[in-house]
């Protein structure tokens, strides 16, 4: 029986056993499930600034956790080994089409790990590395337990999900870093996404959660000063007295994955674009420079 996955704008229509574009959501016996639920591929205790979050609990550390799958297809992805992996069903088990080490951790087990890491300076969990939204049910279930333990939840996301998914997560989220990959609709289409979906996600998240944004400056894709000016002006317009205070991270591109046809972004251009954004925003940071 065919079912539609309604997590993001792709609205994948899946026959039983089929997996969506994200590689992580699957039609199993007529029901759309999160095939990556509890499947952990990456875990590390990171400085929170690495997410990057500059103005949320600076100097702290956060247990960073990732699974597999992503609903975009960025050719410069730095975590493509796990984000571009996908699930396939074999009998009753679900396996990855790409080689990746995984362990299963229930929400309770992961929350307990976060608590145990308190002595090492951990303040909570960051859902990151792959795209957390494609497995939002696990994020919600774990984040609820983390909050009950008196710790915080962070999500590093591309913001490509429907409003209903965001509403499920917002009650448990303390901070997000959202990728705003470009400010042109055609660029987003090339990456497999939709600019308006991300903009709506940012506006809603910023009303109830600490939000910081990241734009990776890719030569020939989004390194135009006019585009950055439009982006910064729009961010500044988000909610009265909120937008100007949203931190923007302007970061330098390095050749990765399928995008090795160009050099790393000129450092001077990164700083020029950050200066442009700074005309409209109170907090602009450069990264990878």
The packing angle between helices 225-236 and 267-277, to 10°, is 40
Task: For tokens 């951990």, name the residue.
Answer: 122
Which pair of structure tokens corresponds to residue 263? 């050099």
Read off the tokens for 98.
Answer: 């790409």
Q: What is the pLDDT confidence band of residue 83, given thresholds at 50, 70 and 90?
A: confident
Tens digit of pLDDT for each residue in 156-189?
999 999 999 999 999 999 999 999 999 999 999 9
Structure token digits, residue 157? 């996301």
Angstrom distances, CA of residue 61 to CA of 89, 121, 170: 36, 6, 21
Predicted local confidence at residue 93, as pLDDT:
46
Per-residue model confidence as pLDDT tens digits over 37-67 = 999 999 999 999 999 999 999 999 999 999 9
| Beta strands in 52-116, from DSSP E residues, in sequence order | 61-66, 87-90, 93-96, 103-104
Q: Report the distance separating Cα 130 and Cα 192, nearest Å.
A: 16
Query: What pLDDT is recorded for position 82?
Result: 86
pLDDT at 128 over 80: yes
Q: What is the pLDDT of residues 99-126, one digit of tens each?
A: 457 899 999 999 999 999 999 999 999 9
Evaluate if residue 143 carries a pLDDT over 70: yes
Residue-averaged pLDDT of the chain: 94
Q: What is the mean pLDDT of residues 6-27?
A: 95
CA pair distance 146, 201, nearest whole angstrom: 23
Rounded CA gap, 83 and 280, in Å? 33
Judged against a pLDDT cut of 70, whether residue 277 lies above it is answered with: yes
- Whole-model pTM: value is 0.94
Whether the per-residue pLDDT at 96 is higher than 70: the answer is: no
Would you list the domain boundaries of the chain? 37-287
172 dihedral zone (left: phi>0; alpha: psi -120 to 50; beta): alpha
- At residue 178, the pLDDT reads 98
Q: Give the per-residue pLDDT at 240.
A: 74
Residue with tokens 């951790």: 105
90 vs 188, more confident = 188
CATH number 3.20.20.70 is the correct assignment for the domain at 37-287? yes
Q: What is the pLDDT of residues 204-234, one digit of tens each?
A: 999 999 999 999 999 999 999 999 999 999 9
């Amino acid at each position: 029986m065919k079912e539609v996955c309604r997590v993001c704008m792709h609205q994948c229509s899946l026959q039983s056993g089929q997996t969506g574009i994200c590689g992580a959501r699957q039609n199993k016996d007529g029901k759309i499930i999160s095939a990556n639920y509890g499947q952990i591929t990456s875990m590390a205790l990171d400085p929170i600034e690495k997410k990057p979050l500059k103005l949320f609990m600076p100097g702290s550390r956060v247990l960073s956790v990732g699974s597999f799958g992503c609903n975009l297809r960025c050719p410069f992805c730095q975590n493509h080994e796990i984000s571009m992996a996908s699930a396939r069903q074999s009998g009753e088990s679900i396996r990855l089409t790409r080689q990746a080490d995984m362990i299963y951790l229930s929400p309770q087990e992961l929350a307990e790990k976060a608590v145990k890491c308190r002595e090492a300076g951990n303040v909570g969990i960051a859902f990151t590395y792959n795209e957390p939204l494609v497995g939002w049910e696990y994020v919600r279930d774990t984040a609820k337990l983390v909050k009950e333990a008196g710790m915080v939840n962070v999500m590093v996301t591309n913001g490509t999900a429907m409003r209903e998914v965001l509403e499920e997560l917002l009650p448990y989220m303390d901070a997000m870093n959202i990728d705003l990959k470009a400010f042109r609709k055609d660029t987003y289409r090339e990456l497999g996404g939709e600019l308006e979906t991300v903009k709506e996600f940012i506006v809603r998240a910023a009303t109830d959660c600490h939000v910081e944004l990241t734009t990776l400056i890719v030569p020939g894709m989004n390194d135009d000063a006019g585009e950055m000016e439009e982006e910064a002006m729009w961010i500044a317009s988000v909610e009265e007295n909120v937008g100007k205070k949203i931190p923007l991270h302007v970061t330098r591109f390095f050749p990765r994955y399928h995008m090795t046809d160009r050099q790393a972004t000129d450092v001077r251009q990164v700083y020029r674009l950050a200066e442009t954004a700074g005309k409209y925003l109170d907090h602009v940071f450069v990264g990878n420079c």
